Amino acid sequence: MSKGRLGFFVFLAVCGVSLAASAQIALEALALSEVVDPPVDRTLLDPYQEKQAAVLHAAGPADDLALGGNAGESTRAKALGYQRMPIEAAMASVTHELEVGDFAPVAVTPEQRATLDRLAMGNVTPEAILAAGKDPQQLEAGKAAFATTCVACHGPAGAGLVGPNLTDAYALHGFGPVAVYKVISQGVGAKGMPPWNALGEEKLTQLTAYVLSLYGTNVAGKAPQGVDPQGNQAPAE
């Protein structure tokens, strides 16, 4: 018999209640507790809720109290049939679930990545960039933008300084209007290239068209880096 129940009987005895009457009162109280706080039906819980109950059970009395439970064994986890385990083991189970279970990150396919990159362009379309590349005035505007934003890293002719050579047949971050627009507008933080999205869509379109026009002009300068359109690595220096 628990200390709580023994104390309850002592209290009744002090009040002058007979043992038989005390037992009847205790039985009625027990029946009432089953109605007020019925056992947990684990068929109503999904797997995630069961894992929560397992972690709660491993957390210990103080954590159980903080979460609205009772001191001692967690009645909720106990009702589900979980045994107490070290907190390290419980957290290892949660970590494993986050890494490879239902909550693991979903890999983005190349097609999905291309769609995201396209949506990031806003109102600019690949067709608009290609059209700007055929318009002398647009190309001249792109060249002017290049002179104020890009020459410090890529040189006046795009042959590369700190940044890569933009005139050879290789690239570090992809080919075509979408890839080049993304690099210019979003930057490459790991390489120290800032984003130029503040230029606005019109200037970004013109600048992208101009950078694309440099491809394949093969100006002597920095050695090739990255891969070609077929995925072949640039030759070693």
What is the reported pLDDT for 83? Answer: 52
- Model confidence at 54, pLDDT cuts 50, 70, 90, reads low
What is the reported pLDDT for 34? Answer: 46
Residue 76 sits at the vertex; the CA angle it makes with 74 and 77, to the nearest 5 degrees, is 70
What is the reported pLDDT for 186? Answer: 92
- Model confidence at 162, pLDDT cuts 50, 70, 90, reads very high
- Model confidence at 17, pLDDT cuts 50, 70, 90, reads very low
Instruction: Tell me the two tokens of residue 121.
Output: 């362009």
**Cα 162 from Cα 124, distance rounded (Å):** 29
212 close to 129: Cβ distance less than 8 angstroms: yes
Residue with tokens 């230029």: 199
Residue 40 sits at the vertex; the CA angle it makes with 36 and 46, to the nearest 5 degrees, is 140
Measuring CA to CA, which residue among 208, 139, 205 is closest to residue 173? 208
What is the reported pLDDT for 110? Answer: 76
Residue with tokens 């009432």: 32
What is the reported pLDDT for 64? Answer: 45
Query: Does 167 have pLDDT greater than 60?
Result: yes
**Cα 32 from Cα 26, distance rounded (Å):** 10
The fold adopted by the segment(s) 110-214 is Cytochrome Bc1 Complex; Chain D, domain 2 (1.10.760)
Please list the alpha-helical segments (H only) found in the chain: 3-14, 19-36, 47-59, 61-66, 75-79, 87-100, 110-119, 126-132, 136-149, 151-154, 176-186, 201-214
Separation of CA 198 from chain center: 26
Question: CA torsion, points 60, 30, 9, 5, in degrees to nearest 10?
Answer: -10
| 89-141 pLDDT tens trace | 667 776 766 666 666 666 778 778 778 777 788 899 999 999 999 999 999 99
Query: How crowded is residue 183: how many other Cβ atoms within 10 Å of its Cβ?
Result: 20
- Model confidence at 20, pLDDT cuts 50, 70, 90, reads low
Mean pLDDT of the chain: 75
217 close to 167: Cβ distance less than 8 angstroms: yes
User: What percent of the chain clears pLDDT 70, i.e. is strictly above it?
Assistant: 56
Tell me the mean pLDDT in the region 142-148.
97
- What are the boundaries of each domain within the chain? 3-100, 110-214
pTM of the entire predicted model: 0.55
What is the reported pLDDT for 118? Answer: 77
Radius of gyration of the chain (CA): 35
Instruction: Tell me the two tokens of residue 74.
Output: 């967690």
- Model confidence at 47, pLDDT cuts 50, 70, 90, reads low
- Residue 131, CA atoms < 13 Å, CB-side half-sphere: 6
Query: Does 236 have pLDDT greater than 90?
Result: no
> CA dist 35 to 29, 40, 46, 223, 230, Å?
10, 12, 23, 79, 71
| 68-90 pLDDT tens trace | 444 444 555 555 555 555 666 66
Instruction: Tell me the two tokens of residue 216.
Output: 């394949």
Residue 17 DSSP one-character state: -
What is the reported pLDDT for 222? Answer: 94
